[in-house]
């Protein structure tokens, strides 16, 4: 009988390995950037086209490779990092398995140019389907340039599973940031379709964090520094006011390698306990440095999941270091009795008062009010107060948009079974709830949840049919967002226009707000867009929703009347009427109840009637 077990050809074996290592363009970006770091580069440039599907190229000024090494690098398990088993437990480099380049060569067309400083000319190698198709000398700079073209060209089924360009570019940016943040002493740049997204000059860790995450963090970072015999923890955490609804700005590094650890994240969250809302996430970029023998990084193909020999000790150190940093920088609530140094330099403090100043002060009505008897409640008569009635008769702010215009007004009578009685009285409780009688008893309406449902249905109809009317901005505002958010916002522009927001791209990560919905006050456009993006990313964690659905939910939540808003009678009436004209009035888009009914017969039973 014929034997049936046989060895796989190298190209097929490499493709199988590539399924673990190279899952999308961002996977290749991570591996190539880490190789450039290991090569001792001080400048690393990443170039991508078509979100990495057409091209991923990394150019570095590192030590380069010899002609033989340039070919050997693409063999399976070929590595310069490990020569015997003990090396596996003392790894301090980024890459070490020798799988990455072989996997890339199995699923893409690769071009490599490399040259060492000691060589007169470099070497040019092209590889396709794991086979070297060309090798020749080339004139090139010291270092290495490796280009991965047409990812999954020979595995079309895998290519079909890639997401949209904005989604894939977002993954690329995430991987780029993780490497760039770990090595602030190296210059990094990222260019996408000929447009520069990042230009990160070398500097301090704080400078790198601000370069990547935005200038709003520049004065809101708290330094973390704890050094012990077992491990060192350095880095920064954001002040409590920077906490967001999403966990995007959270970075853990162990021996300069980005890791994901829900366990250590819990340590940081517990250090922030009672300082931020429970549904918020603090920013942090923390670097743990410890003996590589205490860590197993070889537990996952991406090397982002690791195991500590004693994770409880690491947890305790992380929690303690963050707590100590927050306390040291007076972030925790304390009374500060020290005088600000800038105040001590004021003339009023460091110069003696003159006789003229004394006389002027003593003759003032304010001084007499505090020094003479029976003067505490004295109100000085002033002629300027003669027109005090004008204060009440004239509008305070002609630009103020009353809340009632934000609630869609309907003339149709609500026919829902739970709807309020036509002439029922309304009562607002705790600036959060509305109580009103209906035919069966009474309703307890949550004003924010109700308004969220109303806005959601209104926005849904707008994107399906007639756009919401827009008011042009008299003075268009330019807003700047992070590169990752710029990609996200650019993808949302068409849907935002249907909803009354007209934004136009203005440079790399900038947008001009040309118009806003007609019934929304024109002020604070920057904060509104930032909150919208944050809320959108919060909903993005649920993959079952479409991009449009996430946007509708985000806008409805952002623009809804918040708890603490005082409502007048007319506004409460409009809110209730609009709610019961909705297709689904009883819940918010996320499933929270908008109102609860209390039936009369049930109340009678409670009182024995």
DSSP annotation string for 356-409: HHHHHHHTSHHHHHHHSTT-TT-----GGGGGHHHHHHS-S-TT---GGGTSPP
b (16+ CB within 10 A) / e for 224-258: bebeeeebebbbbbbbbebbbbbbbbbbbbbbbbb
Percent over 70 (pLDDT), the chain: 75
| Length of the chain, in residues | 609
**Does the pLDDT at position 46 exceed 80?**
yes
Dig out the tokens for 297 from the structure.
Answer: 């990084």
Distance CA 550, CA 161 (A): 22
Percent over 90 (pLDDT), the chain: 33
Tell me if domain 10-203 and domain 206-328 are identical in fold. Answer: no
For residue 76, name the pLDDT band (cuts at 50, 70, 90).
low
Between 213 and 248, name the one with better pLDDT. 213
Per-residue model confidence (pLDDT) at position 111: 95
b (16+ CB within 10 A) / e for 544-578: eeebbbbbbbbbbbbbbbeeeeebeeebbbbbbbb
Residues 6+ apart with CB under 8 A from 270: 319
- Highest mean pLDDT among 44-53, 302-311, 412-421 belongs to 44-53
C-beta neighbour count of 204 within 10 angstroms: 10
Between 305 and 271, name the one with better pLDDT. 271
Strands annotated E in 139-281: 143-149, 187-192, 195-200, 221-227, 231-238, 250-254, 257-259
**Does the pLDDT at position 204 exceed 90?**
yes
Per-residue model confidence (pLDDT) at position 537: 76
Per-residue model confidence (pLDDT) at position 305: 60
User: Which H helix or E strand runs over 48?
Assistant: strand 43-49
Strands 433-437 and 510-517: unpaired
Give strand pairing partners of 420.
438
- Highest mean pLDDT among 135-149, 307-321, 534-548 belongs to 135-149
Dig out the tokens for 582 from the structure.
Answer: 């909705």
Distance CA 414, CA 409 (A): 12
**Region of poorest pLDDT, from 249-253, 336-340, 413-417, 579-583:** 336-340
Q: What's the pLDDT tens digit per position in 398-435? A: 334 445 455 544 444 445 778 888 888 999 999 999 99
Dig out the tokens for 273 from the structure.
Answer: 């306990």
Judge contact between 476 and 514, C-beta under 8 A.
Answer: yes
**Region of poorest pLDDT, from 7-11, 54-58, 193-197, 205-209:** 7-11
Between 197 and 543, name the one with better pLDDT. 197
Q: What Å distances lie between residue 26 and 31, 151, 568, CA to CA? A: 9, 11, 53
Residue 417 DSSP one-character state? T
Mean pLDDT over each residue of the chain, to the nearest integer: 79
Average pLDDT for 151-173: 87
Residue 110 in 3-state DSSP?
A: strand
For residue 603, name the pLDDT band (cuts at 50, 70, 90).
confident
Per-residue model confidence (pLDDT) at position 153: 86
User: Which H helix or E strand runs over 119?
Assistant: none
Q: What Å distances lie between residue 136 and 23, 121, 230, 535, CA to CA? A: 31, 10, 50, 53
Distance CA 560, CA 528 (A): 12
Per-residue model confidence (pLDDT) at position 388: 45
User: Which H helix or E strand runs over 204?
Assistant: none
- Highest mean pLDDT among 154-168, 180-194, 457-471 belongs to 180-194
For residue 532, name the pLDDT band (cuts at 50, 70, 90).
confident
C-beta neighbour count of 130 within 10 angstroms: 24
**Does the pLDDT at position 542 exceed 70?**
no
User: Which H helix or E strand runs over 286?
Assistant: strand 284-290
For residue 392, name the pLDDT band (cuts at 50, 70, 90).
very low
Residues 6+ apart with CB under 8 A from 167: 51
Per-residue model confidence (pLDDT) at position 395: 43
- Highest mean pLDDT among 32-46, 79-93, 502-516 belongs to 32-46
**With left for phi above 0 and alpha for psi between -120 and 50, is residue 413 left, alpha or beta?**
beta
Judge contact between 237 and 326, C-beta under 8 A.
Answer: yes
Average pLDDT for 259-288: 88
Check if CATH label 1.10.150.20 holds for domain 206-328: no
- Residue 196 sits at φ, ψ, to 5 deg, of -75, 125
**Does the pLDDT at position 390 exceed 70?**
no
Dig out the tokens for 23 from the structure.
Answer: 């899952």
Enumerate the domain spans of the chain: 10-203, 206-328, 405-598
Judge contact between 55 and 49, C-beta under 8 A.
Answer: yes
Per-residue model confidence (pLDDT) at position 409: 43
Fold of 405-598: Ribosomal Protein S8; Chain: A, domain 1 (3.30.1370)
Check if CATH label 3.40.50.300 holds for domain 10-203: no
Q: What Å distances lie between residue 484 and 187, 198, 543, 597, CA to CA? A: 19, 10, 18, 45
**Does the pLDDT at position 11 exceed 80?**
no
């Amino acid at each position: 009988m014929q034997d049936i077990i046989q060895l796989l050809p190298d190209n097929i074996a490499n493709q199988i390995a590539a399924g673990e290592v190279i899952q999308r363009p961002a996977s290749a970006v991570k591996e190539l950037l880490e190789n450039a770091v290991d090569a001792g580069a001080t400048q690393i440039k990443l170039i991508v086209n078509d979100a990495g599907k057409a091209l991923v190229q990394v150019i570095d000024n590192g030590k380069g490779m010899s002609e033989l090494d340039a070919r050997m690098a693409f063999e399976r398990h070929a590595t310069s990092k490990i020569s015997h088993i003990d090396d596996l437990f003392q790894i301090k480099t980024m890459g070490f398995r020798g799988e990455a380049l072989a996997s890339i060569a199995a699923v893409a067309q690769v071009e490599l140019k490399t040259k060492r400083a000691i060589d007169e000319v470099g070497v040019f190698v092209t590889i396709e389907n794991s086979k070297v198709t060309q090798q020749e000398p080339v004139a090139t700079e010291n270092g290495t340039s490796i280009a991965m073209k047409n990812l999954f060209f020979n595995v079309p089924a895998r290519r079909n599973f890639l997401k949209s360009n904005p989604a894939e570019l977002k993954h690329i940016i995430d991987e780029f940031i993780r490497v760039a943040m770990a090595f602030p002493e190296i210059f990094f740049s990222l260019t996408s379709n000929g447009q520069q997204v990042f230009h990160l000059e070398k500097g301090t860790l704080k400078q790198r964090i601000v370069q990547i995450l935005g200038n709003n963090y520049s004065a809101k970072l708290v330094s973390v520094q704890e050094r012990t015999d077992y491990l060192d923890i350095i880095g920064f955490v954001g002040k409590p006011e920077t906490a967001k609804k999403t966990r995007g700005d959270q970075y853990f590094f162990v021996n300069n390698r980005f890791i994901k650890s829900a366990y250590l994240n819990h340590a940081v969250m517990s250090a922030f306990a009672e300082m931020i809302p429970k549904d918020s996430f603090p920013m942090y970029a923390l670097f743990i440095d410890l003996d590589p023998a205490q860590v197993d990084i070889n537990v996952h193909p991406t090397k982002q999941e690791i195991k500590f020999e004693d994770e409880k000790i690491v947890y305790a150190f992380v929690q303690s270091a963050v707590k100590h940093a927050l306390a040291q920088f007076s972030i925790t609530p304390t009374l500060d009795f020290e005088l600000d140094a800038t105040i001590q330099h004021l003339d009023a403090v460091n110069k003696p008062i003159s006789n003229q100043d004394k006389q002027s002060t003593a003759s003032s009505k304010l001084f007499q009010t505090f020094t003479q008897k029976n003067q505490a409640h004295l109100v000085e008569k002033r002629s300027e107060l003669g027109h005090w009635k004008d204060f009440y008769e004239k509008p305070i702010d002609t630009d103020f948009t009353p809340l009632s215009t934000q609630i869609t007004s309907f003339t149709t009578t609500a026919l829902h079974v739970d709807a309020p009685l036509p002439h029922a009285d309304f009562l607002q409780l705790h600036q959060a709830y509305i109580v009103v009688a209906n035919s069966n008893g009474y309703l307890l309406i949550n004003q924010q949840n109700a308004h969220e449902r109303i806005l959601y249905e209104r926005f849904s109809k707008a994107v399906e049919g007639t756009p919401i009317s827009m008011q042009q901005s008299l003075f268009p505002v330019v807003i700047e967002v992070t590169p990752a958010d710029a990609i996200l916002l650019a993808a949302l522009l068409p849907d935002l226009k249907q909803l009354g927001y007209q934004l136009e791209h203005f440079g790399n990560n900038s947008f001009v707000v040309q118009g806003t919905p007609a019934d929304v006050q024109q002020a604070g456009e920057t904060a509104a867009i930032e909150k919208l993006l944050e809320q959108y990313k919060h909903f993005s964690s649920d993959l079952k929703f479409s991009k449009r659905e996430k946007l509708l939910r985000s806008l409805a939540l952002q623009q809804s009347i918040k708890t603490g808003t005082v409502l007048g009678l007319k506004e409460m009436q409009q809110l209730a009427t609009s709610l019961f004209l909705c297709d689904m009035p009883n819940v918010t888009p996320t499933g929270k109840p908008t109102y609860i009914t209390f039936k009369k017969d049930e109340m009678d039973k409670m009182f024995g009637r």
